[in-house]
Amino acid sequence: MATLNPSDADLVEADWSREDGVVDVDVDGADSAEPMQIESETHTPAPEDVKEIEAGVQSLELGTKGKAKEVPPVEEPEPEEDNEENKKRHLNVVFIGHVDAGKSTTGGQILFLSGQVDDRTIQKYEKEAKDKSRESWYMAYIMDTNEEERVKGKTVEVGRAHFETENTRFTILDAPGHKSYVPNMISGASQADIGVLVISARKGEFETGYEKGGQTREHVLLAKTLGVAKLVVVINKMDDPTVNWDKSRYDEIESKMTPFLKTSGYNVKKDVHFLPISGLVGTNIKDRLDKKVCSWWDGPCLFEVLDKIEVPLRDPKGPVRMPIIDKYKDMGTIVMGKIESGTIKKGDSLLVMPNKANVKVLSLYCDEKEVRRAGPAENVRVKLSGIEEEDVLSGFVLSSISNPVAAVSEFHAQLQILELLDNAIFTAGYNAVLHIHSVVEECEIVELIEEIDTKRRKDDDPKKKKPKRKPLFVKNGAVVVCCIQVNNLICIENFSDFPQLGRFTLRTEGKTVAVGKVVKIPNPGNSTF
């Protein structure tokens, strides 16, 4: 605050020196609109003088406040943050596999071993699990945070957490294994770069997950379709009394999984790593296996494998593409998603498609920290101005104005039919639910254009006959090019341009019936052909 002028001091003296003992000073004298009525003749300034004094005091106050705001260098700490982020790459890891394989427990153990959870919290969870007569579930409580998940012992929503190794920052996405929650698993896998497929080695549990109707198969197919390029297959529960680190059991599971992974499209030598672990005890996760526990395993531990995985780089200078997976209101509209292409910076002007709303980036958050910019593969929260929260839906895409994402209601796709429901025929008029990045939309097959003969693909061009007649229907295992129509506009791209926005699955009655990729979209500006 400013010090009083001599005239102010005189004023105060005059007020308190009244002979009749009545104090006539207004507490808010400096701010009052009316000049003070002072009876002492010697020190009565003109009303103009009081106004001048007030103006002086106020301007002094304002001046100091203004300076205080300007002084702290807001920009200084941020470059350090940027440097910190540049040192470590960022990857999203999704945990997939059959229900009860130990995905949440393994995820919880990773967080505990990397120092994200303290001993006291673990003790609390141990007690809580014991009270529910579920002693072995306490590690899963780190990932399964809501009460429904803890009571049932089943993950429902995709859990999200962060941890770091020597060279990499990871975001764990803990996907549900139960078949009722496959749509949630799809939304988790669509954000991931690497998959950790958790398989239970316990007698009977691997077989249940692997057989027809088990989630191990469906999850692998979905992961491949949704763009999870690398897979780490962890064979969990090796410490179980029925297994006891038995090499023959490990080899049996590996030999059964390898051909299936090949048919799903994975290159097993390059893209898949197998390793044994115990999620509950934490064996072979952060540190290599002790020879006393398991004499036959010489390979790396899970952290080493994750740290060394090479993932294809994305273009930070490309057009911005960020599918929105969630939104909420907090002093403005905040959208969440993973940047698939391009770089988003604070202050950028972007477009929310398909409703073509112009928005401005007010702030950007990455792993709870505010940052100035974020590049491809980062999970971010973006605060936007120019759009209301109710006008944004999951599946909309934040894109650059100069090169916006296509918004269409019809497209051509190449589909691989996996397994149709009993007595179903895949033909024009077939209805299914389309899952593409974060979009979930009902769709109809309008036309079958061409069936691709996978066996004759390598023939020379001249020998190929003219395109055959359009097929009327196709069966399980067929590969077909078809035209798909949806009711609302959706944001997609050709698979060849943006794989993340061009691959999808078709599901019917809770079952994945086909996987595919977008091969042709209408010309820019058109939503149909």
In angstroms, rounded to a whole number, what is the distance separating the alpha carbons of residues 402 and 405?
A: 10
Q: Which of 458, 430, 437 is nearest to 340 (CA)?
A: 437
CA neighbours closer than 13 Å in the CB half-sphere of residue 151: 3
Which pLDDT belongs to residue 431?
94
Q: Which of 505, 427, 509, 512 is nearest to 212 (CA)?
A: 512
* Burial class (CB within 10 angstroms; exposed 0-12, middle 13-18, buried 19+) of 95: buried
Position 213, amino acid: G
Exposed e or buried b per residue across 19-43, where buried means at least 16 C-beta atoms within 10 angstroms of its C-beta: eeeeeeeeeebeeeeebbebeeeee
Predicted confidence pLDDT, tens digits, the chain (529 residues): 455 454 444 444 444 444 444 445 444 444 444 444 444 444 555 555 555 555 555 554 444 444 444 444 444 344 444 444 456 788 888 888 888 888 888 988 998 898 888 888 888 888 888 887 777 777 887 877 777 766 777 776 666 788 888 888 888 888 777 776 677 777 667 778 899 999 999 988 998 888 877 788 888 887 887 778 899 999 999 999 999 999 999 999 999 999 989 888 899 999 999 999 998 899 999 999 988 899 999 999 999 999 999 887 777 888 999 999 889 998 889 999 889 899 999 999 999 999 999 999 999 998 788 999 998 888 899 999 999 999 999 899 999 999 999 999 999 999 989 888 877 889 999 999 999 888 999 999 999 999 988 766 555 554 555 556 788 999 888 899 999 999 999 999 999 888 888 989 898 988 888 888 999 999 887 888 8
Phi, psi of 522 (to 5 degrees): -55, 160
Phi, psi of 443 (to 5 degrees): -140, 165
Which pLDDT belongs to residue 38?
43
Quick check: 229 and 311 in contact, CB under 8 A? Answer: yes
Which pLDDT belongs to residue 52?
58
Q: Please state whether beta strands 373-374 and 379-385 pair in parallel, antiparallel, or not at all (unpaired).
A: unpaired
User: Residue 341 gets which letter from DSSP?
Assistant: B
Which pLDDT belongs to residue 31?
45
Which pLDDT belongs to residue 265?
83
In angstroms, rounded to a whole number, what is the distance separating the alpha carbons of residues 436 and 179?
A: 19
Q: In Å, what is the CA distance from 489 to each residue of 323, 353, 379? A: 14, 9, 25
Residues recorded for the chain: 529
Q: In Å, what is the CA distance from 239 to each residue of 200, 235, 255, 477? A: 11, 11, 20, 39
Partners of 433 in the β-ladder: 442, 507
Which residue is associated with the tokens 């919290």?
121
Which pLDDT belongs to residue 118?
84
Q: Which of 418, 420, 408, 423 is nearest to 487 (CA)?
A: 408
Which pLDDT belongs to residue 198?
93
In angstroms, rounded to a whole number, what is the distance separating the alpha carbons of residues 21 and 96?
A: 84
Q: Which of 378, 323, 319 is nearest to 187 (CA)?
A: 323
Which residues does 121 contact at the CB level (< 8 Å), separation at least 6? 142
Which residue is associated with the tokens 């003219």?
466
CA neighbours closer than 13 Å in the CB half-sphere of residue 416: 16
Cα-trace Rg, the chain: 32
In angstroms, rounded to a whole number, what is the distance separating the alpha carbons of residues 287 and 292?
A: 14
Q: Please state whether beta strands 349-353 and 397-400 pair in parallel, antiparallel, or not at all (unpaired).
A: antiparallel
Which pLDDT belongs to residue 427?
92
Could you give the residue ranges of the DSSP H alpha helices within 173-214? 182-189, 205-210
In angstroms, rounded to a whole number, what is the distance separating the alpha carbons of residues 439 and 378?
A: 19
* Burial class (CB within 10 angstroms; exposed 0-12, middle 13-18, buried 19+) of 67: exposed
- Segment (H or E) for 507: strand 503-508
Does the pTM surpass 0.75? The reply is no
In angstroms, rounded to a whole number, what is the distance separating the alpha carbons of residues 267 and 263?
A: 9
